[in-house]
Chain A
């Protein structure tokens, strides 16, 4: 069942074209990889889905409803959340306050339970619970961004370049946890990544973007072994 569908999405930055014509589909329970080099349009696409950017043309359908003209907060209420590029933590608030804010759209009765869950997932955050978010390390901020997005109890979680600036070991652990969330809770994931290899290992399907368009889509395992993709995005080195 289609959870999210993009139909011919087009975003401009003034005179510059960000994405030309993106169509993709995400089904409930899937992990979808969004690949592409810097500037290919991954972030633009995700920010358009969550509503931070307005599309010039095209449709975004979430759970059967067109959301492209709805404000971001309504989309979050509908069950869509994002861990954005740059993490965007609230710098002068503590880890705890950040997480409380993440649950803004949810009833307070779930708060402590959900926070427990996030801490279980990311014990390091619990250690730093009263620390200012701006003082956390890159990896901790990423965990916080994801944790905050999880507090929204969404059905679809968008992740934008989660591995940026994080050690491969830590990233592998985070990806593992995300995979568990997907398997156990049915959380659908749409992950934009330059680090194609790691993401393709856990994804079901992938879309490859170039110059604002989808140039290829296939099951993840096919993409993983595709020589062209390997050359362009996996550095041509076999892992």
Chain B
């Protein structure tokens, strides 16, 4: 966690970037965490840099480590979960619906 990081790696991501990503992910960072995570994320990017340094011209880009494609299910309905059971586990429910705190702003 506290391994030394190279200055180049730190330059790959700024504390500002990390603060923005944290805000988007609704994470509240405590004292010292911004700096710590900036370094950790920079290390991850440095690792990606190692891979970038390799000659990968003949390697097909992959979106998933598993070499599997086209796994499907058929369009057959299955019984739903019981609503009362589900709503019973929710912090709050009303009229068969989940009750949530007021939302500010529309969905994207």
Report whether chain A binds chain B. no
Query: What is the interface of chain B, defined by CB distance below 8 A to chain A?
Result: none
Q: Which residues of A contact B (CB under 8 A)?
A: none
